[in-house]
Structure 1
């Protein structure tokens, strides 16, 4: 039977599928549900220093080809997730999990990362540079100068495995510029992509979410081509030791297969997980294994990054 085992930064995972930050990860109960499912691991809700209620509801809506949300970084605060992960580390020493975080200012980001650095946490940390739904706050990763400054400062003290969550880029020059920055640093991974920022969905004559007059991040089927393009563009440009997590539009095993074909080492499920629950992991894994068996692939390494082009 084909294997969907993978590894990130040398940490092994039994399955390449996991949740996307923001889905099934706000509470310990939700994280436990993902942990006990067919998922290979989980990532926590992006944590800020203090707990946040987030934007007013309704702030998330399932729509026919995906979802729209303007959550506003609701979370329980860093201590809540870090304490849980440290307990889990004692209980399950052979399992590795992802801790997602971002500050509401550069100073806060450094406070968060220094707390993780000084803790006993042995997993993978994800710095979210792509939160598109906090009113008045731009996405950090679209400001290349700020991104480079933050990463320089972070790696002056942070020694644990660190990756970054990215928004989608849409221009070849931006892929080049971003990769040139990321390649300067010992990043463990980049995660492509967060939702496409500031879409608008209308039913009858009204928007469907309250914050920002209905503007929100778009996820699901809508974004798969953009996600695949970002995964492959960075696979082509980043040094081999920076791995890629593919996120966006994963409804089926075929979608997961395409993310890996484009270069992803791990694949996150967001909107589909929200719609279906954790049973989605078992279904998508089974569908992925069927495709691999049909093609004679025994492991993800057999086809990762081997996207074919039309010559001539």
Structure 2
């Protein structure tokens, strides 16, 4: 049985522009309503982030119109304070959605390991158990194996429990469709993982929209070996990432100009994604519970949660913990305390 991913409270951030920098991660670490901290997805050598190409915007999900006049690229060009900041709105409770053409973090994996070490050095002595860091990574299967080696080695030198999330779901990488949509690609990642790991390993999957995709995932996880199914290497899944092939038009243009660069097609997140994310989590939980080879897999439910009711819905359909991205960008880390207040700390 793989190591268990365990933390409390069952509320955390997910890989996003608002988990890029040392300042982001330090603020999340200090938030008492956060049980675990997830880094922005990194590669061994970093991602060639280009501010003119890789951007995001917030929009009103009821009207589909962008909020504010600007789009953002994320750090280091934008703020390191965990929030996009919308002074033109009079309440943080307005549910905003996001659309992005972003890739991955410009910081390499080694930089995140260094940040985690520096945060450990700055911790005051306390009896409170240290929070888990989920280090989100991506790359080729061989690079993922290298990431696992680096993270596992680093886990022995820091007080934080470490876990590795393999992001197989970004819709914005040209000529590289999300591997979790392809059974053969997904299997190539799981197959290369060690049979035994000292740290929990999970995969982040894209939104699935029909039954065949769930069936393909289960087939990959079960495999053909009765005694050692591929799922025995995994501890959790993060469901879901953004929904690709979405578009926002520029309200300042009289033509069909896109708001975001490069044709504007990108990944959508926030409240419009919530029903689909709920359906994904519910379907996965039912399928996992129906097979003893999969029942150990936990699910981090992600997609459109911004208040206590959304948190409760995710937990009702089987999420072990609930992840926040767009609402973190909108409200800052205060969103976590707001959710805890909404549910009266009844996790």
Per the normalisation by structure 2, the TM-score is 0.76
The structural deviation recorded for 1:278 is 0.8
Residue 133 of structure 2 corresponds to residue 97 of structure 1: yes
Residue 77 of structure 2 corresponds to residue 46 of structure 1: no
Residue 188 of structure 2 corresponds to residue 149 of structure 1: yes
Aligned equivalent of 1:194: 241
The structural deviation recorded for 1:131 is 1.5
The structural deviation recorded for 1:155 is 2.8
Q: 1:222 to 1:81 in 2, by over 3 A?
A: same
Q: 1:138 to 1:120 in 2, by over 3 A?
A: same
Residue 52 of structure 2 corresponds to residue 21 of structure 1: no
Q: Distance in 2 between matches of 1:119 and 1:265?
A: 26
Aligned equivalent of 2:78: none
Aligned equivalent of 1:250: 305
Asked whether the 8 Å contact 1:260–1:266 carries over to 2, the reply is: yes
Q: Distance in 2 between matches of 1:30 and 1:218?
A: 22
The structural deviation recorded for 1:158 is 4.3
Q: Which has the higher helix share?
A: 1
Residue 285 of structure 2 corresponds to residue 235 of structure 1: yes
Q: Distance in 2 between matches of 1:18 and 1:280?
A: 11
The structural deviation recorded for 1:55 is 4.0
Aligned equivalent of 2:250: 203
Q: 1:188 to 1:217 in 2, by over 3 A?
A: same
Residue 58 of structure 2 corresponds to residue 62 of structure 1: yes
Q: Distance in 2 between matches of 1:179 and 1:28?
A: 37
Q: Distance in 1 between matches of 2:5 and 2:302?
A: 20
Aligned equivalent of 1:217: 267
Q: Distance in 2 between matches of 1:53 and 1:164?
A: 23
1:135-146 correspondence runs (5 A): 135-146=174-185
> 5+ unaligned residues in a row in structure 1: which ranges?
1-7, 291-298, 301-312
Aligned equivalent of 1:3: none
**SS of match in other structure, 2:38:** coil
Aligned equivalent of 2:89: none
Q: Distance in 2 between matches of 1:42 and 1:76?
A: 17
CA offset digits 1:269-309 (Å, max 9, x no partner): 1111101111111111211238xxxxxxxx65xxxxxxxxx
The structural deviation recorded for 1:49 is 1.1
The structural deviation recorded for 1:167 is 0.3
Per the normalisation by structure 1, the TM-score is 0.84
Asked whether the 8 Å contact 1:20–1:270 carries over to 2, the reply is: yes
Aligned equivalent of 1:272: 327
Asked whether the 8 Å contact 1:52–1:73 carries over to 2, the reply is: yes
State the superposition RMSD in angstroms: 2.0
2:162 pairs with 123, 131, 143, which one? 123
> 5+ unaligned residues in a row in structure 2: which ranges?
62-96, 223-228, 289-293
Aligned equivalent of 2:29: 35
Aligned equivalent of 2:111: 80
What is the aligned residue count?
A: 282
